[in-house]
Structure 1
């Protein structure tokens, strides 16, 4: 059993090593789903702010056109168009201000949340790599120990060298675990 496991490791047949703590896996799944939902919300927030800006710009253009039309018309109709243009420009300014407030209070915080979740995902990736390296070091230790035991049984003159390799691997494993 041990020999077949060692053979699998040496031949690269072993499956990739990952943590299998159910609580950690649940948290990882939550983070990945949260990123998707936040990205979707950020996309919708962007479009909402964009529409507010476009609507504000359209109202501003309409207001300018109505004022110009008012300047071309007679007194009563001209005044009505001028008033309509002025009201449109006031509404445009309010929409532009609201678009800016939406940007600052809704879209920007969502961007920050997305960046935070991406940072968490990067940390999860680093943790997975560290766990993989730790498992690889443990496998290396097992291989060195098996090699040392085998050399001790055959009373080879290479036992000292194998003991030295085993101690080096042990020190590397301990140093990695402390990090």
Structure 2
């Protein structure tokens, strides 16, 4: 069995803990213990907990965009592509291991002065808006990208609040009417 590189083990462990417990509730000592590393190994790769959070957000952002892009590829038309993204979101949110949007969870926890983290989250969210714009471009409806994005984010928030799929299903019905 091949051993996972130390940096990857740290990010993997921190990612799981940040997602399940939240940033504030996850301590460096817990990450070190669960990753099975020495404290010096952690600080060799990350100067602070904030840097580790940035690495988590960057990696999760790439994975999220891959998943959304793959979902969109299930459709042939822009409308089908958008609906496929909401179908994916519905399946994702129905998983018992889904604890909400990685990025929204973090932004709710952060103080206003956590500029670097907020910028990373904004960058990821802007990439989703851009995905919607690109999907809508062939039918000259890019102007709807922000509305679709707002439905997407709102459905995630509603799902977290109500612990139910109806916000995602409702958003998907609106997308059907819009596009």
TM-score range, shorter chain: under 0.3
- Larger relative contact order, structure 1 or 2 (CA cutoff 8 Å, min sep 6): 1
TM-score norm. by structure 1 comes to: 0.23
Q: Which has the higher Rg, Structure 1 or Structure 2?
A: 1
